[in-house]
Structure 1
Amino acid sequence: MSIEIANESGVEVPEPSIVSVARFALDKMSVSQLAELSIVLVELDVMSDLHERWMDLPGPTDVMAFPMDEYDSSRRPDSAGAGPALLGDIVLCPAFAKDQARKAGHSLLDELHLLTVHGVLHLLGYDHAEPEEEREMFGLQNQILADFRAAKAAAEREQAQRSADSAVLGAVGLEEQDGPGTH
């Protein structure tokens, strides 16, 4: 799966973490490994222009999604003529998201994770124009984010345990030099 990210916003953000949550969401939604996604972080004025041009709404917004190819979840990667599915672009505005994060009582990174998953779901055809659609999309969004946080916490615990194990082994002179099975 190819996920490209470009930060043109002037706001420093941990780009690998945004890519990670996008990849996690795409995996959770069983999107083909051949899929391609682009994420662009932009300044307020750029987002305002996009928002007005494409949504006919004034002012900036937090996230916009621009689907490219019609995503066909039934298409097999090994079928004849199957090529990469170009999902589209997710455009995030960290400056706008920063205020939302503050109001929601969480970090900018948490807000950007939420907006990234939101954008992925839009690219996959989900919407929230009607109450039923909103319940479905936001429920799915919340579940993906909860699963992502749980997976991230588990990975951090595992890394901490490996570090602790290594420290103990090192303290007793048993640290591994070149990996398992070497003496």
Structure 2
Amino acid sequence: MTLMVEILNEQEESLTAEQMDTLVHLLEKAAELEGISEKEVAITFVDNERIKELNQQFRNKDKSTDVLSFPLDEEDALGDIIISIPKVREQAEDYGHSFERELGFLTVHGFLHLLGYDHETEAEEREMFARQEQILQEFGLIR
């Protein structure tokens, strides 16, 4: 095993076992493509109110968001990814693709942040979004 994934659900809506398995396999693929092995990552699903609280607390932004990443400076743990399931549903509808595609996109986005990717500049954004798309394409999770 190259990546240990823990999934926690702190909101009302339950994801199916298939959806959670897909996320685990997607992260394993992303880890493989990034050359990451023997690491742990946690994904927590929350509602908009909780992600807004976290966004305010850690980023000083008083609004809900779709995904937050909290890298850990530990040898065996990459960190935590927090995803708002209501935002996933809303954005999937807005972008005209499936819930699973949006959930996968945000999961990979959060994972890449744990690895140090960012999108503060145009160059960083191009690199990060190209890498996200490559991972999703190789996994087969297309729009």
Q: Structure 2-normalised TM-score?
A: 0.90
Match of 1:121 in 2: 112
Runs of 4+ in 1 over 2 A off after TM superposition: none
Q: Give the Å deviation of 1:45.
A: 1.0
**Aligned residue pairs: how many?**
136
Correspondent of 2:21 among 16, 21, 25:
16
CA RMSD in angstroms comes to 1.3
Q: Select which of 84, 89, 110 maps to 1:93.
A: 84
Where does structure 2 lack aligned partners over 5 or more consecutive residues?
A: none
Q: Which residue of 2 aligns with 1:3?
A: 5
1:134 pairs, out of 117, 125, 128, with 125
Q: Which letter maps to 1:11?
A: E
1:43 to 42, 47, 72: 47
TM-score of the pair, normalised by structure 1: 0.71
Matched letter for residue 3 of structure 1: V
> Greater strand share, 1 or 2?
2
- Fraction of identical pairs, as percent: 39
If you compute each CA radius of gyration, which structure gives the higher value, 1 or 2?
Answer: 1
Aligned equivalents of 1:101 and 1:49: distance in 2? 23
- Quote the Cα distance in structure 1 between the aligned partners of 2:85 and 2:49: 12
Distance 1:6 1:128 in 2: 27
Shift in Å, 1:118: 0.3
Asked if the contact 1:94–1:108 (Cα under 8 Å) also holds between the matched residues in 2, the reply is no
1:125-177 deviation line (CA, Å, top 9, x unaligned): 00000000000000000000000017xxxxxxxxxxxxxxxxxxxxxxxxxxx
Match for residue 58 of structure 2 among 12, 35, 54:
54
Shift of residue 67, structure 1, vs aligned partner: 0.1
